[in-house]
């Protein structure tokens, strides 16, 4: 990653975007603004298309808020939050080495952000999806968000959005960079979520049994002991799917199934 960093601004307040652009003009050696979005849904599209190095992100926005948008990203760029959350939240984020700016953003505070990010780039410690900085922020976001009760997962089929009831889902599985859901009647759909996000979002009836698989425990018909302490799960779906658990998940599966 080289300077200046390709930068996207995401905020539903046009005045906030305009002010931030003016402030960032003083740091053109660090940031090159390549676009902006008015909500999380637009931001998700823009990030996917442009693959920026860093985003300045508001939290409270229509369609998708900042939390929800981050949860749908496969590759998370460096994130600088620019929002009006209280100072206790700011302190929590700063202690985890995540940049967090309180609105209205002050020029001197933004200058410290630029300095911090330049130092990260020079040390080659930018916040990629596997960097501890990103893991910390995602953990904090999960803690700060109230859990919503959900009943279905939306998937795109052609030009339509289809809602799949949770009761119809047998399991989710990650393949390369994509996550698919499989229904009890044998259908398979591409989702926009990561396995980690689904594990946090879904009710306790969905259990992570390996790094790449999340299964609906109500659809498990049989459990067979496998080698190396693993288990083989036989599901009740139309395809009679068999899933092998990960060795590091064996103890939690034993507790879940009282084995």
Along the chain (259 residues), what's the average pLDDT of each consecutive run of 10 residues? 94 94 96 96 94 91 83 84 68 56 90 91 61 55 62 88 94 92 96 88 90 94 86 94 88 73
How far is C-alpha 249 from the chain's CA centre?
A: 22
pLDDT value of position 32: 97
pTM of the model: 0.53
Rounded CA separation 259/256 (Å):
8
Q: Which of 108, 237, 257 is nearest to 182 (CA)?
A: 237
SS3 (DSSP) at 59: coil
pLDDT value of position 128: 44
Please, what sign has the CA dihedral across residues 80, 134, 93, 83? positive
* Residue 75 CB neighbours (<10 A): 12
pLDDT value of position 107: 95
- Rounded-to-5 percentages of helix, strand, coil across the chain: 35, 30, 35
* Residues 60/63/64/66 CA torsion (nearest 10 deg): -20
Please, what sign has the CA dihedral across residues 219, 222, 227, 230? positive
CB under 8 Å to 215, separation ≥6 — which residues?
170, 171, 172, 206, 207, 209, 233, 235, 243
The fourth-level CATH superfamily of domain 5-143 is Response regulator (3.40.50.2300)
**Range(s) for CATH 2.40.50.1020 in the chain?**
152-257
pLDDT value of position 129: 39
**Range(s) for CATH 3.40.50.2300 in the chain?**
5-143
Phi then psi dihedrals of residue 206, to 5 deg: -100, 125
Contact 78, 126 (CB under 8 A): yes
pLDDT value of position 69: 87
The fourth-level CATH superfamily of domain 152-257 is LytTr DNA-binding domain (2.40.50.1020)
């Amino acid at each position: 990653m080289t300077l200046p960093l390709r930068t996207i601004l995401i905020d539903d307040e046009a005045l906030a975007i305009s002010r931030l652009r003016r402030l960032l003009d003083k740091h053109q050696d660090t940031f090159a603004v390549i676009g902006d979005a008015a909500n999380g849904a637009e931001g998700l599209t823009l990030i996917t298309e442009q693959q920026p190095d860093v985003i300045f992100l508001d939290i409270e926005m229509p369609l998708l808020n900042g939390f929800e948008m981050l949860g749908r990203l496969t590759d998370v760029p460096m994130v600088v939050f620019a929002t009006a959350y209280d100072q206790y939240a700011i302190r929590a984020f700063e202690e985890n080495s995540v940049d967090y700016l309180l609105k209205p953003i002050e020029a001197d505070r933004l200058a410290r952000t630029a300095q911090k990010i330049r130092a990260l780039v020079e040390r080659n410690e930018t916040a990629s999806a596997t960097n501890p900085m990103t893991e910390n922020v995602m953990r904090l976001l999960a803690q700060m968000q109230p859990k919503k009760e959900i009943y279905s997962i939306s998937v795109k089929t052609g030009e339509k959005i289809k809602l799949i009831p949770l009761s119809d889902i047998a399991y989710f599985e990650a393949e390369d960079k994509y996550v698919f859901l499989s229904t009890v009647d044998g259908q398979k759909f591409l989702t926009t979520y990561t396995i980690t996000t689904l594990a946090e979002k879904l009710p306790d009836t969905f259990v992570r049994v390996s790094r790449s698989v999340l299964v609906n425990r109500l659809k498990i018909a049989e459990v067979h002991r496998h080698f190396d302490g693993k288990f083989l799960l036989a599901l009740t779906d139309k395809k009679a799917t068999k899933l092998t658990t990960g060795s590091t998940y064996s103890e939690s599966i034993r507790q879940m199934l009282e084995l």
